Structures are given as structure tokens and as C-alpha cells.
Amino acid sequence: MRLRQRVREFAYAMGFGIDEEAERKVLDGEAGVPPGSLTSGKLMAVQIAKNKFTPDQDIEAVRRDYVYCVDQLARYADIIVVNVSSPNTPGLRALQD
């Protein structure tokens, strides 16, 4: 939601409005800025990780978590960082194996 709002506020500031169509114009390049970053010369990195409630042993469910995150966030990012070692998410380090 924050990334979407960020894009829509940028669209509004550029005179495109603040709705879904304005968001599309920015993300499709009609606003004349790099997608994701919204600032020339800068990149927007988005980090993804599995849901903390997804069982670590259910590798298929873990895979679905990552795919879902990419599907939802890729259009707002220049870089996707896949986190498989966060000490703050129980069991996530085990995914490295």
C-alpha cells in the first residue's frame, strides 16, 4: 500500500491525478521517469521474505510466498531483494540450506 501511495502521490504532483490510471501512467513510463525509483539516477529496492506464519518445512508454501510477493511488488521496484536469512523471521535461516 505504501509503494502504491508513493507512486500515486508522485503522479498527482506531476499533474496526472491520484487514481489507478495515474498510477499506470507513472509505472508505464508516460510520466518520463524511471519506473520504481521515481527519481532519475536512483533505484528503488524492495526486500521480500516468506510469511512468518508459513511452515518452514512446506517448501511449496514458502515458494508461493515469494512468488506472491514478486507478483505484488515487482512493478513498484527496480530491484527485488530475496531475503532467506533474516534473524528476525523464525526459521528463515534454515531456508539457506
Question: Over the range 62-91, which residues count as b (16 or more CB within 10 Å of their CB) and which as e?
Answer: beebbeebeeebebbbeeeeeebeeeebee
Active site residue 86: yes
pLDDT tens digit string along 11-20? 999 899 999 9
pLDDT at residue 91 greater than cutoff 80: no
Other C-beta atoms closer than 10 Å to the C-beta of 40 total: 8
Mean pLDDT of the chain: 85
> Rounded to two decimals, what is the model's pTM?
0.74
**Catalytic residue (choose from 37, 40, 85, 86):** 86
